[in-house]
Amino acid sequence: MKKAFAALLALVAMASCTTQSYKDSSLSPETRAKLLLREMTLEEKIGQMCQYVGPCYVPPGQGSAYSNIDADDPNLGKPDMAEKIRAGRVGSFLHVLTSTEAAGLQKIAAQSRLGIPLLIGVDAIHGNALHEGCTIYPTNLTMASTFNPGMMEKIGAETADEMRQTGMCWTFAPNLDVARDARWGRMGETYGEDTYLVSEMGRYLVYGLQGRDGLGEHNVLACAKHLIGGGEPAGGLNAAPMDMSERKLRELYLPPFKAAVDAGVATVMTAHNEVNGIPCHGNRWLVQDLLRGELGFDGFVVSDWMDIERMHSMHHWLESEDEAFKVSVEAGIDMHMQGDKYFESILDGVQSGRISEKRIDEAAGKILAAKFALGLFEDAEVKVREDHSVEGAAEHRQTALEAARQGIVLLKNDGILPLKEGQYRRIFVVGPDADSQTIMGDWAAPQPEENVITVLKGIRSMCGDAVIEDMCFDGKILSIDDAGISAARRKASASDLNIVVVGENSQRYSSYGITCGENNDRDNLQLPGRQQELLEAVYASGKPTVLVLLNGRALSLLWASENVPAIVEAWEPGMMGGQAVAEILWGKVNPSGKLPVTIPYNVGQVQTVYNHKHSQYSRKFALTHSGCLYPFGFGLSYTSFAYGEPAIASSEISASGSTTVTVDVTNTGEMDGTEVVQLYIRDEYGSVTRPVKELKGFKRVTIGAGKTETVSFDITPEMLQCFGAQNSWSVEPGDFTVMVGSSSADKDLKSALLTVR
């Protein structure tokens, strides 16, 4: 009887399965993906793993104008792409730069046998900035300076909304690289040098992009990248090798990815570089054991641009591209970004028995499940707007403005700031970045001029009664010559106030001479070109001078810090950044940004980070400075804040215990202000050497003039643990110093002792 009943149940289950359809939107994305896989050929499954660049990304014959891609890739501009799509051999596109193109590609995909929609991705790193008319927010380094994860979530949600309006449904963000070398050109694309800050900003961007309650029609897939260790490349050069201990990997570079996985990130991208001799794109331990096994990641893994092939051509690790393709799939890479030959190689791998069809089902199934979760099977139609407009743009630009206000860091002020209305009749604004769209940073396409507020525009709108003369060198950093420097000196002498706007250019699509950004690494940290000479010439006029920096990395500013009375580090504050800079210069906004990176005196000090080991500075440099010029977490305000002594609720706890530290913060000035209160902890002695301090918490607190706020932090076991000598995580007994203050500098911190018994 029991056997008959079991057989009946089996028949019912089989009948239920046969009646289910992947077109049934009431089923889960995973169930629908499994049902669809049953109807797909092997070729169609492998097709889902193939991603290509948008046909318009590199116009035929113009590839050489773009320095950051492989312009000689034979697939670019290839006429048979439409046939590949109709045959089901393409699952995804990236860098589709117009809604018209996105709509056209989806229409072709609908003509395939099963009508499977395309997954269209884009590098929306700080807004959907590669699309004309969208909102360009401050770059990630600027956002890290806000110490405001909530703002990051808001920007993520707005970015996702604008992406879906233009046909995009997947962004290759957040960038979770921990940037430990300022020579590396991608520092501006990151959230800085600290693991905890990177983790928090990245986690909240995932929340914003994907939503906290599952993907909806206004959400997109996020992508945690680059797994792993690319922010500390040998020599500062992008994609250079990384050799590190497992302890360093787990304590410094892995936590941001764990935070993203815990937040539900849908996709992960592996890194250009090799780690301990194994390229990341072929590292099974990294992808399968660590990412999927330990962290529990359940989405799909995509390669970076043609980096699978580079396991052969760049790393010289595998003897052919064909072998690289097969090894990548065996290692756990589910999608190949850009290029031919991959499809044929993987098909051969399955037909020869080397790669199981189960592995293909796993990869294609995860990609299909993402498409179902996005609702693409129900509605993949892209609504084309000929005027490139997006709904909500006005509101989103106000968010971009507020983010820029919070992210700008005041590095020095000898009393010249804030400027007063009517104080100066003749103002000279000089520098190649003063009126340039480089204010938007990397990963931003040129925008209509009326959509971008440069520093010069912001200043003109702030002080309409003053006579403002400008000298911007056509926005070209490397065009400053003797004649220009002489002319600037004369104009500076004739002015009442000089505002020098210099820095770098990260705009990959400009013709102004890119100096920063992806694959634009440097062997020094000076102002590029002759900008330093320009600054010194203007300063020599003897007139009040303010320095405004627009840059995507920490620069050496020793001369400026010793001479110029006011320095504003604006980073790359986005399309509304010029207004934010002007508002801060004239005191309409009280600056509150804090440095997410340490600024060294010069490039010879690299690596310079706040959370170094005790022995790093046990010896001093001969003849020059040791330490840093400006510490991590530093930033001035137009008011002042006084910290009381921190109080710990329980000064002794067990290894599994928690406690709370509180501190009173008083605004001792005459202007309301916002302070970023920072919590650092040092493990005094451990089974392995520990950093001098580690950021474990922060809070933005707005305090009225003369008022006091009590700020508290919970101290949990997670904050105290280390990856000890036994190669495992634990809270080791002993003394911990708990520090609270305005920056990571010892002079800015008040401390209390916590003992773990």
- Mean of pLDDT values over 615-638: 93
Do 167 and 94 lie in a common domain? yes
- DSSP structural state of residue 638: S
Confidence (pTM): 0.94
From CA 20, how far away is CA 30, in angstroms rounded? 13
Q: pLDDT tens, 203-213?
A: 999 999 999 99
Do 190 and 114 lie in a common domain? yes
CA dist 371 → 165, 366, 376 (Å): 17, 9, 6
pLDDT at site 61: 40
Counting the structural domains of the chain, the total is 3
Q: pLDDT tens, 534-590?
A: 999 999 999 999 999 999 999 999 999 999 999 999 999 999 999 999 999 999 999
pLDDT at site 291: 98
- Mean of pLDDT values over 298-312: 96
Report yes or no on 394 lying in a domain.
Answer: no
Of 745, 738, 596, the residue nearest 663 (C-alpha)? 738
pLDDT at site 137: 98
Which residues, in sequence order, are CB contacts of 576 under 8 Å at separation 6+? 397, 400, 401, 404, 453
Q: In whole numbers, what is the pLDDT of the chain averaged over residues?
A: 93
Do 533 and 651 lie in a common domain? no
- Mean of pLDDT values over 59-76: 39
- Mean of pLDDT values over 653-675: 97
- Mean of pLDDT values over 370-396: 89
pLDDT class of 62 with cuts at 50, 70, 90: very low
Domain CATH number, residue 412: 3.40.50.1700
Do 113 and 230 lie in a common domain? yes
Lowest mean pLDDT among 64-73, 87-96, 182-191, 448-457: 64-73
Q: pLDDT tens, 15-45?
A: 455 689 999 999 999 999 999 999 999 999 9
Report yes or no on 359 lying in a domain.
Answer: yes
Do 84 and 120 lie in a common domain? yes
pLDDT at site 278: 97
From CA 426, how far away is CA 523, in angstroms rounded? 38
Q: Indicate whether 370 pLDDT > 50.
A: yes
pLDDT at site 271: 97
Q: Is the peptide bond before 646 cis (omega within 30 degrees of 0)?
A: no
Q: Indicate whether 526 pLDDT > 80.
A: yes
Do 597 and 646 lie in a common domain? no
Report yes or no on 16 lying in a domain.
Answer: no
Domain CATH number, residue 317: 3.20.20.300
pLDDT at site 283: 98
pLDDT class of 98 with cuts at 50, 70, 90: confident
- Mean of pLDDT values over 726-747: 97
pLDDT class of 66 with cuts at 50, 70, 90: very low
Do 287 and 199 lie in a common domain? yes
Q: 188: domain range?
A: 40-373
pLDDT at site 56: 67
Q: Indicate whether 194 pLDDT > 90.
A: yes
Do 294 and 342 lie in a common domain? yes
Q: Indicate whether 64 pLDDT > 60.
A: no
Location of structure tokens 């029991």: 2
Report yes or no on 684 lying in a domain.
Answer: yes
Domain CATH number, residue 670: 2.60.40.10
Do 363 and 438 lie in a common domain? no
Report yes or no on 26 lying in a domain.
Answer: no
Of 443, 457, 580, 447, the residue nearest 506 (C-alpha)? 443
Q: Indicate whether 344 pLDDT > 80.
A: yes
User: Which residues are identified as catalytic?
Assistant: 304
pLDDT at site 80: 79
Q: How far is CA 665 from the centre of its chain?
A: 31
pLDDT class of 731 with cuts at 50, 70, 90: very high
Do 212 and 329 lie in a common domain? yes
Strand ranges inside 294-399, DSSP E: 300-302, 336-337
Asked if 676 and 592 touch (Cβ cutoff 8 Å), the reply is yes
Do 69 and 112 lie in a common domain? yes
Report yes or no on 721 lying in a domain.
Answer: yes
Q: pLDDT tens, 153-172?
A: 999 999 999 999 999 999 99
pLDDT at site 79: 57
Do 330 and 185 lie in a common domain? yes
Residue 146 tokens, joined: 């806000």
Report yes or no on 380 lying in a domain.
Answer: no
Report yes or no on 80 lying in a domain.
Answer: yes
- Mean of pLDDT values over 395-408: 98
